[in-house]
Amino acid sequence: MHQDRPVPHAHCVPAQGSAPALIATLVAALALSGCAGFPWQKAPPPPSIRGGYAAGDKLMVILPAKGPVADAANAVREGLRAANGADDTAAKPALTFIANDDPKKMAADYKGAIGAGATQVIGPLLKPSVDVLAGGPALKVPTLALNQATTPGKPAANLYQFALAPETEAVDVANKAKARGFTRALMLSPKGEAGSRRADAFRRQWQKLGGTLVGEASLDPAAANLSKSLNALLHKGAADVLFLATDADQARKVFPAVRDGAVSLPVVATSAVYSGQPDPVRDKALTGLYFVDAPWVLGVGAADDPLARAKLKRGSSALATPLGLRLYAMGIDAYRLAPRLSTLAKDAGATFPGESGTLSIDSAGRVQRQLTLAQFTASGPQPAPAMVAAKPGVPATAAPADQPAKPAKPAKAKHPTKAKPATKPKPATGTEPAAPAEPAAKAEPPTPIARPQRIAPAPRPEPVTPAPQPEPVARPG
């Protein structure tokens, strides 16, 4: 992608002559040629990230209107409408929605959108409907599906896939841990499909990056005592990070045992541990836990953004769930990505500052997300610059996860006695013998700590701040 900027001139030299002639010539030359670098020269404004469409573009959106995913579709729809309303460019397109609840009708619905003059298509949302497009012929216009195909092989040309899959978040956790300099990881995942998907994705990416998975354990959150599983994992070997592949309820049960009685390792999870609504009381058990999430959900973004999380008006049932909030942000991004799909796909290093993450498109047409690292604190989740050990030097045996520590009871006196009145001190004469010194207390032997030692990462050079990515150029008409 390129960025419009003043073209530098090789020379800006006035003609020879008298002083008045020189000044007159210089003024004329500057007015006509616009030598770069003068303060009164105005560069063309950068293209707005809120738009990007060309004059005459027609945006068609294919979403379910009923059924079990109706709320999810409504959340995306509201995000699309909000993004369209905030589009402050002259070429803002009108939104046209097409209902598709039956994958068998997907091909006909898509053909109808193209026949109506669509220049970009967003949708479908259902995986079987995405499979229909992925397995068909090349698509006529750039099409952003809001899920991933399940069919193997290369998808149809012009099809791009944008999904909020748990695997993508686990991959981002692995990337962030490796970028921090960590090389040896432990992983704790719950039994079940969701936990397995996160665990498998983290394992593949971590090993792909050259990291070592020192140990992993699968636990049953319904078990009466989790400390045995935790201790077995924590003694697998030396490690420098722990990936917790749980959801919020599971994390509230497991993490306190890890934090309060287990290790000094940084522990990190996916957005599944955060409901999207700050709750200091319920989330007190998660204080210290790192996780990755969409910047919009965490309130990160430009203060003047009309779609900032803080400005969202509640009232929609579609936004009352953790998934609904993230799908709303996804809808905003889908609107802003649609006119930029081809440009982003052609440049492997190009990114777009989205509400659901820093977005890019890989060689298979899949939208990749770099999420924001955050940490639970006493006042709620806060963005975090990096993962660090929160409590160095704590004992390494996991406290029972289901039994909070009981405070010690004060000792009771067997026989109360009356206090004797203090004796009146005698005046010092300066000849009294010195009081004998108190014997030194016998030193207690140190308690052995049987815990995996945290490996301090080797010092790494300060990363070079990359130059800001220029905004994608609006699609020509």
322-337 and 70-86 helices, crossing angle to 10°: 50
The H or E element that residue 422 is part of is none
- DSSP-assigned states of every residue in 322-344: HHHHHHHHHHHHHHHHGGGHHHH
Look at residue 394 and tell me whether its pLDDT is greater than 60. Answer: no
245 shares a domain with 121: no
259 shares a domain with 187: yes
Is position 425 within any domain? no
- Condensed to tens digits (0 to 9), the pLDDT of residues 440-449 reads 344 344 333 3
312 shares a domain with 216: no
Strand 380-383 versus strand 372-377 pairing type: antiparallel
Beta strands in 170-257 (DSSP E): 184-190, 212-219, 241-244
Q: Which residue would you say has higher pLDDT here, 318 or 398?
A: 318
Average pLDDT of span 252-260:
85
116 shares a domain with 8: no
Q: What is the CATH number of the domain that holds 302?
A: 3.40.50.2300
Look at residue 97 and tell me whether its pLDDT is greater than 90. Answer: yes
Is position 451 within any domain? no
Is position 169 within any domain? yes
Instruction: Give percent of the chain above pLDDT 90.
Output: 56
304 shares a domain with 289: no
Question: What are the backbone angles phi and psi of residue 475, rounded to the nearest 5°?
Answer: -65, 130
Cα distance between residue 113 and residue 103, in whole Å: 15
Q: What is the mean pLDDT of the chain?
A: 78
Q: Which residues pair with 267 in a beta bridge?
A: 242
375 shares a domain with 240: yes
Is position 199 within any domain? yes
Is position 64 within any domain? yes
Domain extent at residue 40: 1-46
Is position 415 within any domain? no
175 shares a domain with 143: no
Look at residue 304 and tell me whether its pLDDT is greater than 70. Answer: yes
- Condensed to tens digits (0 to 9), the pLDDT of residues 38-88 reads 333 444 445 578 899 999 999 999 999 999 999 999 999 999 999 999 999
pTM over 0.85: no
94 shares a domain with 153: yes
pLDDT level of residue 222 (50, 70, 90 thresholds): confident
233 shares a domain with 135: no
Domain boundary among 318, 353, 368: 368
232 shares a domain with 198: yes
pLDDT reported for residue 237: 80
Could you tell me the strand order of the sheet in which 95-99 lies?
Answer: 95-99, 59-63, 120-122, 143-145, 159-161
157 shares a domain with 112: yes
pLDDT level of residue 229 (50, 70, 90 thresholds): confident
| Domain count within the chain | 3
Is position 61 within any domain? yes
Look at residue 392 and tell me whether its pLDDT is greater than 60. Answer: no
| Token pair listed for 346 | 């052609």
358 shares a domain with 376: no
Is position 253 within any domain? yes
Domain boundary among 379, 406, 433: 406
Handedness of CA 351, 352, 358, 359 (dihedral sign): negative
- Condensed to tens digits (0 to 9), the pLDDT of residues 135-194 reads 999 999 999 999 999 988 889 999 999 999 999 999 999 999 999 999 999 999 998 899
